[in-house]
Amino acid sequence: MSSVRVHRHARRRMTTAVATICALSAAPLAPQAVAGDRPPYTETYRPQFHYTPQKNWMNDPNGLVYYKGEYHLFYQYNPNGNSWGNMSWGHAVSKDLAHWKELPLALSHDDKEMVFSGSAVVDWNNTTGFGTKTNPPMVAIYTSLDKSTGTQAQSIAYSTDRGRTWAKYQGNPVLDIGSKDFRDPKVQWYAPTKSWLMTVSLSAEHKVRFYSSKNLKDWQPLSEFGPAGATGGVWECPDLFPLPVDGDKKKIKWVLVVNINPGGITGGSGAQYFVGNFDGTKFTADDKGSYTPPTGTVVQDFEGAGFGTWTATGTAFGEAPATGALDGQGEIAGYDGNGFANSFHSGDSATGILTSPPFAVDSRYLNFKIGGGNHPHQDGTVLDRGAPPEGTVLADFEGGTYGDWTTTGDAFGPAPATGTLPNQIQVSGWLGDGLVNSFLNGDATTGTLTSPEFTIDKDYINFLIGGGNHPTGSDDATAIELLVDGKTVRSTTGNDDEALNWASWDVKDLVGKKAQIRIVDGNTGGWGHLNVDHIVISDTRAQPVSRETSVNLLVDGKLVSSATGSNSETLDWASFDMRPYAGKQAQIQIVDNNTGGWGHIMADRFTTASAPAKSVVQRADWADYGKDYYAAVSWENVPGDKRYTIGWMNDWEYGGSIPTSPWRSAQSIPRQMALRTVDGRIQLTSEPVNSLESLREGQAARASDVTITNTSQPLIGPKVRGKALDIETTFSLKDAERFGLKVRTGTGGEETVIGYDTTNQELYVDRTKSGAVGFSSAFPGVQRAPLKAKNGKVKLRILVDESSIEVFGGSGETVITDQIFPDPISQGVQVFAENGSVKLDQANLWHLGSYRD
């Protein structure tokens, strides 16, 4: 169930990316849900030194080129709203990559096409004939999405007035292979052949294709690269560029950046890269060699005739290990030996659990292989749905009518549905005989269903919900809303799934108020409908039923770690850190509680070891290890052949739900890229552009030679606080297990932790208590990245803005970029050490001003 309208990044296709949107129900709508009450650029969460448009939705950076003293930043933009759609190119310029000025819309969508991502060049030799030798044209090469067919092809447009106005080429498209997954051209001049070189993505095939042209109009294929590295999602926004290694211009390597979504290092969107050679026709990645996992003791390899001492419930795992693909299943790869656990017995519709006997934890790590569906365990879920919460039923949609609820439009019909409607995927999970189902006559219908007024007299409003994921605030919502005084104060959307599951609103702060429930279907595209049933107001929060396909670690009966598949029939390594549970009793559970697509799990080769095994994704190279760095591409034509890169500072797992208005999304800080030899391996490094320092206000606040032991304390002093900061620190290792900084600290324990784990030699960012995190359960969490101390020291540079942090470790070999949405009054900065001491050699802190020109 899909439509061209939502397929720019296959973002609505991913089940895991939206699997937790119901977490919106856990908190009120964000403070900026209603726009227009504050002057532009003063709104809550508005970045001060990261570029944002004044209003509306923004995603991928496009058309990055330097010309006549200006750095051009084009970007994917919706000129009509604050959610993805109507894709066009917005435009901003800068003279120094630190100060930005927003310009009028550059390339607009129209009745026939949307203007997807691409690049821009200066046609110095006027190969296109669009300008003159004395006034060479700027040419944009973009993916045009044909609205009638869904075909993606490459088109061009040109400007002869420094990018201020544009004309689309009448001969578009210039490159069309009839594909719906052919996008994001990056074009550059390749001097050795005196021709233009295009790097473009065959996204669903996990390939990059190279083309050559003499005039930007006629293109000839050269070669392909891929699949390689991480392939758990579509490949997008490729980039190819040369860099000297360790500054040696006689030793040039090429970098191929391939952005991937989902399947990045944090599970969602990410920027992967390969280092290798390009000969003018073909890119060849450096051989990294084969992978050998750490040796250890195999505790379960499923090589016996049965499951041995492991016990199975349900029917999904059968009576014995599988020895290959089961009936109806694709080809299986990656398991060891002959047998493995496979829950595809009777297909995806079967469920079950395979549980190990208890064992004492006596190893540092438990490594295992895992494959199958990507349905993570969600905290607060249960494996079996019990009785509905007790309370006052506001509506159960029984009796064949809507009672005193009122309808508008034609999506809901005159009465509740009694189940699955014509041409609909099977609906499940409702109670009794009736439910709300707005699929009447398909997704094309719209309408609302509104309850009579009632008084909120209990702590929670619980309901069953399924259907489309189009949150309130998007152009075309499918959502259930709580109205107080006519305003939406709570909202929950579906999960692109026909199975209804429990969701809840905490309404303790609204007790005594008059309210209404409104069910909205304003969407006519894919998954443009909603299923709702059994709305009950109660003093008990309903627990949603798990939909997981996972391997779980239970310690003393509590789940402490979990892993899931990647929607692949190839098993790959995963690992549990067992060190915190030494000496305790543990169990392994392999859980299949999902009956939808990819509703199965596979596992093999459980091995105790002294070091963690690494998956293909963990072994891949990443430009950034945070949740919020995607579609990273670089500027062409930069003076001095420097390579500057910028990325979209968001993630498709929750990008449409972040609590900002009237704009949504920011770009990262521009970064200077380099290739450096780190621990004997050539690695892409990045650091903030030097011009960012021009935004520093006044003198730095400083601290030095401070030893911190088992505590958190102000970094410099209790009065040194801020929302827009540039912090440089150097630590000397002592015996602390973890140390670092806490920023945007405030009342109620609000904090974002930037730490270093000395045992694992990892930099990490913990944003679980960073402020507003309840709009998606894919948002809170801890991001980790490898970082070795150098000569016993750890250097960090931390950029803190109103709604983001960027952490650069060492000499830029490790970066973590994360959005945060703290209370505006949370401005504290602390230094901490855990389980020992650390020495803070030096800390410099500057307040940063605005990027606005």
Catalytic residues: 60
**Contact criterion met (CB below 8 Å) for 156 and 176:** no
Nearest-5° angle of CA 120, CA 126, CA 130? Answer: 75
524 token code pair: 């006519």
Name residue, tokens 């549905």.
Answer: 417
Q: Give the burial string for 614-653 (b: 16+ CB within 10 Å, else e).
A: bbbbbebbbbbbbbbbbbbbbbbbbeeeebbbbbbbbbbb
Helix (H) or strand (E) holding 616: helix 616-619
Helix (H) or strand (E) holding 619: helix 616-619
Query: Alpha-carbon distance 241 to 366, whole Å?
Result: 40
List the one residue out of 756, 732, 730 whose CA is nearest residue 742.
Answer: 756
Query: Alpha-carbon distance 253 to 245, whole Å?
Result: 7
What is the separation of C-alpha 54 from the centre of its chain, rounded to a whole number of angstroms? 23
Query: Alpha-carbon distance 780 to 778, whole Å?
Result: 6
601 beta partners: 372
Name the 3-class secondary structure at 598. Answer: coil
Helix (H) or strand (E) holding 777: none
Query: Alpha-carbon distance 405 to 802, whole Å?
Result: 42
DSSP secondary structure of 822-840: --TT--EEEEEEEEEEEEE
Query: Alpha-carbon distance 430 to 418, whole Å?
Result: 10
Name the 3-class secondary structure at 660. Answer: coil
Ranges assigned E (strand) in 624-720: 630-634, 644-649, 663-664, 666-667, 671-678, 681-688, 696-714
Helix (H) or strand (E) holding 490: strand 487-493
> How many CB atoms neighbour CB 244 within 10 A?
14
Name residue, tokens 């190819």.
Answer: 240
Query: Alpha-carbon distance 704 to 163, whole Å?
Result: 48
Nearest-5° angle of CA 593, CA 597, CA 603? Answer: 55
CA dist 348 to 264, 310, 326, 671, Å? Answer: 25, 22, 11, 45
User: How, if at all, do strands 270-278 and 283-285 pair?
Assistant: antiparallel
Query: Alpha-carbon distance 759 to 743, whole Å?
Result: 23
271 token code pair: 């920027």
Is the link from the previous residue into 173 a cis peptide, with omega within 30 of 0?
yes
Listed in sequence order, the residues at least 6 apart from 25 whose beta carbon sits closer than 8 Å to its beta carbon are 490, 491, 492, 503, 504, 505
> How many CB atoms neighbour CB 714 within 10 A?
15
DSSP secondary structure of 304-347: SSS-TT-EEEESTT-SS-BSSPPTT----BS--SS-BEE--TTG
